[in-house]
Amino acid sequence: MSTPILQTKSLCRSFGAVTAARDLDVTINPGEIVGVIGSNGAGKTTFINMVTGYLPPSSGQILFEGRSILGKPPRAIIRMGMARSFQVAQLFPELTVLENMLIALVAAEGPRPSFFLPMASAKRMRQAKELLAEFGVERFGDSVVSAVPQGARKLIDIAMALISTPRMLLLDEPTSGVSVEEKFGLMDTVMRAVRHHGVTVLFVEHDMEIVERYVSRVLAFYSGEIISDGTPAQVFADEKVRELVIGHGHGTEKKRNMA
């Protein structure tokens, strides 16, 4: 039996008297595509922030490929093989897309022997352009990020996360701010890329159509706890999920978007 790529044991996080995460026991196996759902404040982003090193847990364990990553900073976790994107794309708006990609490439390579060495080497330029092409956004390479459409920015942000060749990728609401017309095309592109690279994916998403179409497993959060874990059909049929997360008698629009 293979070692889980990510495992948390009794993971907790409190902010004063408020418990944001309580006894989270999660096991993600290599190759899984897992969706995380829950209303605002349910603990989804707290969980993502803890496992990626942006927020220390109050107690519990976090194992990546069997090794503890507790106390490690985000950059160290990225170099171990776990990357993430954010709900709001983390790009330098005043720089071009290619410049952003080159910065991400240099950061993924680790400490540089000299600050004055050029970033735009032929090898890095080729890598950056190939990854942009894989996500269908190569035409924006010379554009300043602030002039790039929102959907393309999302794809560029995720492409940057893949620069470090991670084995696991965590996405925080990849379709937020993206139009209805764009969302499926965006997710088709992302899923094609992560499957090509053999990356395990865990993503937070409010859009239930996206969850139903792209994941094989769902974790439903409520009040800092996981109240259901199973296939989309199993989780959406769970009475606790229907009552506390989606809502009884939810219509199509309610099911599609819990935001």
- Domains of the chain by residue range: 1-81+168-175+200-259, 82-164
Name the class of domain 1-81+168-175+200-259: alpha beta
109-135: average pLDDT? 74
Assess contact for 57 and 25: CB atoms under 8 A: no
Walk across the sheet containing 18-28 and list its strands: 18-28, 6-15, 59-64, 67-68
Q: Does residue 252 surpass a pLDDT of 60?
A: no
Q: Does residue 168 surpass a pLDDT of 90?
A: yes
Assess contact for 46 and 226: CB atoms under 8 A: no
Q: Which of 175, 101, 174 is nearest to 132 (CA)?
A: 101
- Per residue in 33-88, pLDDT (tens digit) is 999 999 888 999 999 999 999 999 999 999 999 999 999 999 899 989 999 987 66
Q: Which of 18, 39, 48, 12 is nearest to 241 (CA)?
A: 39
Least confident of 5-9, 53-57, 150-154: 150-154
- Per residue in 185-203, pLDDT (tens digit) is 999 999 999 999 999 999 9
What amino acid occupies position 231? T
Q: Does residue 213 surpass a pLDDT of 80?
A: yes
Longest dimension (CA), the chain: 62
pLDDT of residue 251: 42
Q: Does residue 96 surpass a pLDDT of 60?
A: yes
CATH number given to 82-164: 3.40.50.300
Close Cβ partners of 258 (under 8 Å, ≥ 6 residues apart):
37, 39, 206, 208, 245, 246
pLDDT over 90, % of the chain: 66
pLDDT of residue 41: 87
Q: Do domains 1-81+168-175+200-259 and 82-164 have the same CATH topology?
A: yes
Q: Does residue 258 surpass a pLDDT of 70?
A: no
Least confident of 6-10, 166-170, 249-253: 249-253
pLDDT of residue 250: 47
- Split at pLDDT 50, 70, 90, the class of 112 is low
Instruction: Record the pTM.
Output: 0.85
Residues written for the chain? 259
**Number of continuous H segments (helices) and E segments (strands) in the chain:** 10, 10
pLDDT of residue 111: 58
- Split at pLDDT 50, 70, 90, the class of 220 is very high
Q: Rounded to whole angstroms, how far apart are CA atoms 144 and 229?
A: 42
Q: Please list the alpha-helical segments (H only) found in the chain.
A: 44-51, 74-80, 97-109, 122-134, 150-162, 180-196, 208-214, 232-237, 239-241, 252-256
- Split at pLDDT 50, 70, 90, the class of 176 is confident
Q: Does residue 214 surpass a pLDDT of 90?
A: yes
pLDDT of residue 150: 87
97-125: average pLDDT? 73
Give me the helix-helix angle, 150-162 and 180-196, nearest 10°. 10
Q: Does residue 113 surpass a pLDDT of 70?
A: no
Phi, psi at residue 83, to the nearest 5°? Answer: -125, 170
